[in-house]
Amino acid sequence: MFALTQYKGSLNAVNRTGGVVERWPYYVIKAKNWSTTQNEEETNMALAPAPWRLQDLTPEVIPAADGSIRTIAAQRDGSRPGGDSSGDSDPVGLIFSETFNSLPDITSADGMTDALTAAGWTTMRNGGAGGGPHYTPAEGFANGHYPYEIKGDDSEQIMEDGEKSLVCYRESYSLNDGSAGWNSDGILMKIFDEGKESVFVRFYIKFQPGWTEAGQTKIFRWLSLDEDGSPTSFFSDGDSAPIYLWDWATSSYGVRHFHSFRADPQGDNYFMTNPSPQGLPRSMSQGDLTANYDGNIRDLNGDGTEDNTITLIDQKTGETLTAGENFHDQIFGSAWHKVEIYLSMNSSPGAKDGEMKYWLDDQLCFFNEQMPWMGDDSPGGRLWNAVGIGGNDNFNTYPNSEAVQEWYAISKIEIFDTLPEGM
């Protein structure tokens, strides 16, 4: 027998006879090799798990534990990690995606354009209170760039399959006292109508060839935004908590994955101290954890015992990353890399059961299931409801007179409200 049902614009099916199915245009399915005399049979039978072979779509048998027909791309977002869902019409749990291909050329100086709104983005920022941008065309630098740009005219900033990217620029700039300050600060943001207890993001990132290994650059953030709050109002008197940020950073010991944890309520628990998370690979400082790609990804909970298999590839040698100090050209180089981040809110105020996980090119680099996103004094009920790409940077390696700008590109953004199976 054979059962069909319509669900979210695609067909789910369960085959109890081993027959072969194929997808027709407009999501009609024809079944072959029936055990009955009928050519086609439609019924409201309950679905049951079964293996499927999708004729003319893939030669592989795909386990459909939820009864759905899946392509290879969708399966990678399910029980087999490692891919992306490009080309699949409705990946399980997908709530937002962006390849930037449908957008015209845009810079942050253009503001919140109709095209960005139509693509599902909510707001943006072109520079912030920290200073800058300083080296843009508007400031008289004809060859300068705005904090972010969406353009398709530079092959270095386009993915191998032709996907455009959001290109963010940092600038080397010193204040009058010689310090770096926090500059640039272009952010593109999406605010969701409904918050989520759990969120998973996947995107691809590339740093420009010759990226200077110095400073700190904010790249990605998740927020629990207050109702009617400003999505760019941060700190203890701001309008968001909890907050999570993923930054690129470095030290004399090598490149870092820099995580910032901000808890609710922000007024007196901004740096996640009441209570603090447990089982971290190293200690936090004012809610920040600057982890290396050496011992901190081998010993994920900081108990002194290596508990993680290393598969990350050294970009210089082409071999699996070895123990020791690792620098930017080894971890990132100038290739495209896949970043995946998962957050789950803790179950109640003060409960140490929230989650945070980070993967780079399928390598688990951070794992913690004791995150108290909502602190002891939180009223509870917080949900993840806003995401931002870009941010400011702390970088002043070069004199202001050289007007140095450096870029990183982000493409193929996918956001889910669940952790894909198998990850």
pLDDT tens for each residue of 4-42? 333 233 333 333 333 333 332 322 233 323 233 333 333
Residues 120 and 9 in one domain: no
Residue bearing tokens 């319509």: 6
Residue 271 pLDDT? 98
In the listed set 29, 54, 70, which residue is the last one of a domain according to the structure? 70
Do both 113 and 63 map to the same domain? Answer: no
**What pLDDT score was predicted for residue 422?**
77
129 falls within a domain: yes
The verdict on 231 and 375 lying in the same domain is yes
The verdict on 63 and 123 lying in the same domain is: no
In a domain, 75, yes or no: no
User: Which CATH number belongs to the domain containing residue 286 in this structure?
Assistant: 2.60.120.200
Question: Does residue 90 form part of some domain?
Answer: no
pTM: 0.80
- Pinpoint the alpha helices (H) of 237-308: 266-269, 295-298
Count the residues in the chain.
Answer: 423
Residues 30 and 103 in one domain: no
User: Do 188 and 231 belong to one domain?
Assistant: yes
Could you give the CA distance from residue 298 to residue 366 in angstroms, rounded to a whole number?
10
DSSP 8-class letter at 117: H
- 82 domain residue, yes or no: no
Q: Coil, strand or helix: which one is 195? A: strand
Looking at the structure, tell me whether residues 133 and 227 fall in a common domain.
Answer: yes
80 lies in some domain: no
Angle at 20 (CA atoms; ends 19, 23), nearest 5 degrees: 135
What pLDDT does 13 receive? 34
- Asked, for residue 132, whether it belongs to a domain, the answer is yes
> Do 11 and 56 reside in the same domain of the chain?
yes
| Residue 260 sits in the same domain as residue 341 | yes
Last residue of a domain, one of 70, 89, 112: 70
CB-CB neighbours of 13 under 10 Å: 19
Range of the domain at 54: 2-70
Residue 51: strand, helix, or coil: strand
Mean pLDDT per block of 10 residues along the chain (423 residues) reads: 32 33 30 32 34 34 35 31 51 94 96 98 86 91 97 93 96 94 94 98 98 98 95 93 98 97 98 98 98 98 97 98 97 98 98 98 98 98 98 96 98 96 78
Residue 84 confidence (pLDDT) = 56
Residue 128 lies in a domain: yes
Give how many domains the chain has, as a whole number.
2
